[in-house]
């Protein structure tokens, strides 16, 4: 990089230089190392310099206290807001020092720094949107709408839980929004398509930010930062976009200035870029594909995934009536959940739920489920299914004999589960 070369025609006033340095420092501080989610092999905390100094900053200047074991990094926590403010404070201080040194050296490098900042943002946004887009296309970001979600009253959901419920219903909508994010992200990886990629990415992220705020999603600040990065990329073309889209005036073509201008190094840069993009995309597809395949396999194995309403409950030969407040009698059994098909819950007559992990052998008609927290809370059962909607279990639990008869409710028994797209509603 030639420190004495500047892009022709660019006017770098002291204020503009200061803002460029501040923006460069802030975005680098913000991204490293928590922004590299697309590097699935990287554990950010292993290389992060922020944890200790952020807690000190928050305690000293903000009066906050932190639990080192529960910092909730990346989830709109006190730690995150303290780190944002620390990054901002450091960026201002270092930009002032940088400007003082620069005023004496008078090196001309602002255009190169500007290109470097845009390159960092393009790649970071591009890879991040590709990661989150593929998570939607592969249908694992929001999970599967299982019976546990359908059976849970709407009012019992948190705003974020309600959003996840809404998003998990439609694979079509998930795939559509994911493809938009992926296309916008990939276009940002190339200079010639940066503007188009930034426009698409801005539309996608504006929708994400609005949803995250409206539904109190715990990654609001992450989404806002990503949208602000896209806006930084759009800033250079703001006048051109205003002329074309609003004022209906002609405008000149623009050219994304390459980071490496020396022809001797351009080929090496292209090779490095191809290897980087290829590696990130292939690794992301493999990582995401593994998650998708695991969840699909789990769902295929969850052949008993249904809701079971207890009709008759007999323990040690005594039939227990369905009296409210009885902790010993079951009310319902739910096998499978939206995120974990091997999970099941039992609701007693008090309304309380207990979670279990189950194993079923459909050939032997055996059914075992146990609590991860209490090793003695283990059921060993045999089951029969006299009809499509009837399920009977017999077995042992802590020395007690059990006989349970239940009615089966499947996904299709719910209006939401049986719903489909109707092009002609009254046909």
The tens digit of pLDDT for each residue in 260-279 reads: 777 777 888 888 889 999 99
pLDDT of residue 210: 97
Distance CA 250, CA 244 (A): 6
Peptide bond into 33 cis (omega under 30): yes
CB 33 within 8 A of CB 42: yes
pLDDT of residue 47: 87
Distance CA 224, CA 229 (A): 9
Token pair of 362 as six digits:
């459909």
Identify the bridge partners of residue 403 per DSSP, sorted by sequence position: 314, 394
pLDDT digits (tens, 9 = 90+) for 399-413: 999 999 999 998 888
Q: What is the DSSP letter of 192?
A: G
Token pair of 53 as six digits:
């100094």
pLDDT of residue 228: 98
pLDDT digits (tens, 9 = 90+) for 320-330: 999 999 999 99
Cβ neighbours, 10 Å, residue 39: 17
Q: Does 343 or 217 have the greater pLDDT score?
A: 217
pLDDT of residue 359: 85
Choice among 29-43, 45-59, 156-170 with the minimum mean pLDDT: 29-43
CB 76 within 8 A of CB 221: yes
Q: What is the DSSP letter of 359?
A: E
Distance CA 205, CA 124 (A): 14
pLDDT of residue 341: 72
pLDDT digits (tens, 9 = 90+) for 274-309: 999 999 999 899 888 888 877 776 665 556 788 999
pLDDT of residue 354: 92
**CA dihedral for 202, 208, 212, 217, sign (positive or negative):** negative
Token pair of 275 as six digits:
């290897």
Token pair of 309 as six digits:
């309403």
Torsion on CA atoms 143, 149, 154, 158, rounded to nearest 10: -50
CB 142 within 8 A of CB 174: yes
Q: At what angle do helices 110-137 and 194-214 cross, to 10 degrees?
A: 60
CB 308 within 8 A of CB 391: yes
Nearest to 1 by CA among 115, 123, 81: 115
Grouping H, G, I as helix, E, B as strand and the rest as coil, residue 311 is: strand
Distance CA 160, CA 163 (A): 5
pLDDT of residue 84: 97
Please name the residue ranges forming H helices in 170-193.
Answer: 171-187
Torsion on CA atoms 339, 340, 346, 352, rounded to nearest 10: -40
Q: What is the DSSP letter of 291?
A: H
pLDDT of residue 277: 92
In the chain, the percentage of residues whose pLDDT exceeds 70 is: 96
Distance CA 407, CA 309 (A): 5
pLDDT of residue 5: 39
Q: What is the 3-state secondary structure (H, E, C) of 107-166?
A: CCCHHHHHHHHHHHHHHHHHHHHHHHHHHHHCCCCCCCCCHHHHHCCHHHCCHHHHHHHH
Grouping H, G, I as helix, E, B as strand and the rest as coil, residue 385 is: strand
């Amino acid at each position: 990089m030639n420190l004495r070369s500047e892009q022709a025609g660019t006017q770098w006033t002291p204020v503009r230089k200061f803002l460029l340095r501040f923006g460069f420092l802030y975005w680098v501080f913000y991204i490293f190392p928590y922004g590299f989610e697309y590097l699935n092999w990287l554990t950010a905390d292993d290389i992060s310099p922020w944890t200790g100094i952020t807690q000190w900053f928050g305690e000293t200047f903000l009066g906050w206290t932190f639990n080192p074991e529960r910092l909730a990094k990346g989830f709109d926590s006190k730690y995150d807001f303290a780190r944002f403010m620390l990054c901002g404070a450091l960026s201002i201080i270092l930009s002032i020092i940088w400007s003082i040194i620069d005023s004496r050296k008078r090196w001309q490098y602002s255009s190169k720094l500007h290109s470097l900042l845009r390159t960092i943002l393009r790649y970071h946004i591009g890879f991040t949107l590709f990661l989150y887009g593929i998570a939607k296309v592969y249908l694992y970001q929001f999970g599967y709408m299982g019976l546990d979600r359908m059976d849970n009253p709407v009012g019992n959901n948190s705003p974020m839980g309600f959003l996840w419920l809404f998003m998990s219903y439609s694979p079509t909508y998930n795939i559509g929004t994911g493809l938009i994010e992926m296309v916008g992200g990939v276009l940002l990886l190339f200079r010639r398509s940066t503007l188009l990629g930034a426009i698409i990415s801005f539309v996608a992220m504006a929708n994400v930010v609005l949803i995250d705020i409206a539904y109190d999603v715990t990654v609001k600040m992450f989404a806002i930062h990503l949208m602000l990065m896209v806006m930084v990329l759009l800033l250079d073309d703001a006048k051109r976009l205003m002329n074309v889209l609003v004022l209906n005036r002609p405008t000149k073509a623009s050219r994304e200035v390459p980071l490496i201008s020396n022809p001797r190094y351009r080929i090496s840069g292209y090779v490095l870029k191809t290897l980087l993009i290829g590696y990130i995309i292939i690794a992301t597809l493999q990582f995401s594909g593994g998650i998708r395949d695991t969840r699909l396999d789990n769902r295929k194995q969850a052949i008993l995934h249904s809701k079971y309403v207890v009709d008759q409950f007999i323990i040690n030969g005594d039939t227990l009536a369905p009296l409210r407040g009885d902790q010993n009698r079951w009310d319902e059994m739910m096998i499978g959940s939206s995120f974990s098909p091997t999970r099941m819950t039992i609701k007693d007559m008090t309304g309380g739920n207990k979670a279990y992990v189950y194993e079923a052998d459909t050939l032997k008609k055996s059914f075992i489920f146990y609590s991860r927290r209490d090793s003695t809370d283990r059921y060993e059962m045999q089951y029969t299914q006299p009809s499509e909607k009837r399920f009977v279990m017999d077995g042992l639990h802590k020395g007690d004999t059990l006989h349970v008869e239940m009615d089966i409710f499947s996904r299709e028994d719910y209006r939401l589960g049986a719903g489909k797209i109707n092009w002609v509603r009254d046909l």
